[in-house]
Structure 1
Amino acid sequence: MSVVIPVSAEWLTLREDVDARSRSRALALRAAEMVRAPLTVHDLGSGTGSMMRWLAPLLPGPQTWVLHDWNRALLEQAAAQPARDGEGVLVSVRTNVDGLGRLRASALAGASLVTTSALLDVLAREEIEAMVRACVEAGAPALFGLSVTGGVEFEPADARDHAFQTAFNDHQRRSVHGRRLLGPDAAGVATDLFGTAGWSVRVAETPWVLDSEDRELVEEWMRGWVAAAVEQRPSLRKPAAEYAAMRAARIARGGLRVLVHHQDLLAWPP
């Protein structure tokens, strides 16, 4: 949701099915127990609306979704692909173009539930503080999904995996235009902030489990993962060429399985 971390509609579309099967259905159903229809759900960093399309069928209707993102083009695409609620009725959609650093409780007025997906790890601490503060002041439960936690597991493993993983995680924590990103620490920070506010928090491990059925996504993810590691640690540039070629060959043969660790959290007021 920050203009300095661009994301393409193509990447969001490519990952949507894997995101859907990875999110915690148990936490979503627990959130559904906390709300009463008619619902107003505010989705922060909506992108192309994948969270809405996954979650709306698990919630009672009627529903209104308010989609927040800095990228107007992505919001327009999301609004053009509305979801259906648990009764099969199309949800209503409104959009709001804004950045998280300016989020106030007033923007969440009337919210039944606040959601995010694949967002926290690309934010700075002050942005997450603003999100949590707005949720607490609005009094709406929060379901924050698919925050990267830093762990990556390959089958088969390679001795170089750890070096690239460490460099990538450092890249996730880099400073961008004066903002110090939290990367894999973000989910823990959000959990602590809600806890300090006196809210209850439940977390679930929600890894991507990728194999030969996800070849296109694995290839794209792998390119980005290695490139970010090399950008952070240029000394990896030379070994990266051989490493990436080895992994690409494994992917092409259907002989690679990857776990990319994420975490979902559900927070609710006392």
Structure 2
Amino acid sequence: MPIDEEELDRIDLKHRLYTMLLGEKLFLAPIQPNPQRILDLGTGSGIWAIDMADAYTSAEVLGVDLAPIQPQWVPSNCRFEIDDVEEPWTYGRTFDFIHARDFLFSILDWQNLVNSCYENTTPGGYTELQCLLPEAHCDDDSTPADQGVREFSEKVCDASEIAGWSLREPKNYKKYMENAGFEDVTEVRYKIPTSSWPKDKRTKMLGALEMQSLLQGASAFSLRAFSRAYGWTQTQTEMFLLKMRHDVRDLRYHTYYQFIVCYGRKPGSLIPGASDSAVSLGHHGE
């Protein structure tokens, strides 16, 4: 994925979308109230790690990514490192909470990554994986099979599998976590409209944000997927995207994606009072 100002803006937009989706929370796992070490895999712009450092001042928050695109001015308990998380981990310590979100077009071997998470999670600690599943759904038959968002979603998911980093892998998160040895593995799925078609104000806003993300980011992730899988040129890709860009604005089509959150606990003793400790934004430190 190209990393430029436009992509950084899109990452921050998605952060706002997901935070709204989770009820103004950054995660769902019932972590201990005063975690000491938190790891954010594929931290991107670093916005999740920064918010976690603000919310959990007891913790040292480490964000890692292949690209050094994070800001210089961050909370004193937050820092960033360049790292490839598919290589052997060399952090030299375990983490009370490991988080990864929207690892799209990034991971070739998910079971290996989850195994690394398990090995580096403190006993009693949690790992949580969050990711958009870009398969278009419709519950009321308003969207035909040849609608632009549906065609685009199917094509890009197929291309990702041919290229080796399947966008459909979030459906397997629960299995990978159980295989690794995590206990109490929980999967939660949310609906994200692909445009502002819902009548409910909050859901309409979620859809508007996702539509903006699609319009803003489709070229970037499609170029990589389609060139690798199909040998398409940039012109061929942009021509294919025209229908999606048109149809995504049509509120007659009630399409949505799913956002999958899966978390599990490493066997061991939990600190008393660990449940229900996810901090809502706007209520930091309470």
Deviation, structure 1 residue 248: 3.6
Alignment match, 2:257: 260
Alignment match, 2:22: 25
> What CA distance in whole angstroms lies between the structure 1 residues aligned with 2:64 and 2:235?
41
Alignment match, 1:50: 47
> What CA distance in whole angstroms lies between the structure 2 residues aligned with 1:240 and 1:110?
43
Structure 1 letter corresponding to 2:111: E
Mean alpha-carbon deviation: is it higher for 239-248 or for 254-263? 239-248
Residues 258 and 50 (structure 1), Cα distance of their counterparts in 2 relative to 1, 3 Å cut: farther
TM-score (norm 1): 0.71
Q: Identify which of 180, 183, 203 aligns with 2:167.
A: 183
TM-score (norm 2): 0.68
Residues 61 and 71 (structure 1), Cα distance of their counterparts in 2 relative to 1, 3 Å cut: same
Deviation, structure 1 residue 203: 1.3
Residues 135 and 217 (structure 1), Cα distance of their counterparts in 2 relative to 1, 3 Å cut: closer
2:113 match: secondary structure? helix
Structure 1 letter corresponding to 2:108: A
Alignment match, 1:169: 157
Residues 148 and 251 (structure 1), Cα distance of their counterparts in 2 relative to 1, 3 Å cut: closer
Q: Identify which of 144, 148, 158 aligns with 2:129.
A: 144
Residues 93 and 149 (structure 1), Cα distance of their counterparts in 2 relative to 1, 3 Å cut: same
Alignment match, 1:97: 82
Deviation, structure 1 residue 107: 1.7
Q: Does structure 1 retain, via aligned residues, the 8 Å contact 2:118–2:266?
A: yes
Deviation, structure 1 residue 141: 1.1
- Map of 1:222-237 to 2, 5 A cutoff? 222-224=218-220, 231=227, 232-233=229-230
1:157 and 2:143 equivalent? Answer: yes
- CA displacement 1:139-185 (0-9 Å, x = unmatched): 3411211x23241247963442444332211112133xxxx223212
1:69 and 2:53 equivalent? Answer: no
- CA displacement 1:206-235 (0-9 Å, x = unmatched): 343343544643422444576567544579
1:135 and 2:120 equivalent? Answer: no
1:208 and 2:196 equivalent? Answer: no
How big is the alpha-carbon RMSD for the aligned residues of Structure 1 and Structure 2? 3.7
> What CA distance in whole angstroms lies between the structure 1 residues aligned with 2:231 and 2:219?
15
The runs of 5 or more residues in structure 1 that have no matched partner are: 83-89
Q: Does structure 2 retain, via aligned residues, the 8 Å contact 1:44–1:68?
A: yes
Deviation, structure 1 residue 65: 1.0
- CA displacement 1:56-96 (0-9 Å, x = unmatched): 56x54322211111112x13x2x43x3xxxxxxx4512222
> What CA distance in whole angstroms lies between the structure 2 residues aligned with 1:69 and 1:238?
30
Aligned length: 244
- CA displacement 1:116-150 (0-9 Å, x = unmatched): 1111653111xx334322222223411211x2324
The runs of 5 or more residues in structure 2 that have no matched partner are: 197-207, 268-286
Alignment match, 1:85: none
Among all aligned residue pairs of Structure 1 and Structure 2, give the percentage whose two residues are the same amino acid: 11
Q: Does structure 2 retain, via aligned residues, the 8 Å contact 1:9–1:47?
A: no
1:265 match: secondary structure? strand
Alignment match, 1:16: 12
Deviation, structure 1 residue 197: 3.0
Relative to its length, the structure with more helix (as a share) is 1
> What CA distance in whole angstroms lies between the structure 1 residues aligned with 2:52 and 2:85?
22
Residues 184 and 218 (structure 1), Cα distance of their counterparts in 2 relative to 1, 3 Å cut: same
Q: Does structure 1 retain, via aligned residues, the 8 Å contact 2:10–2:217?
A: no
Alignment match, 2:107: 123
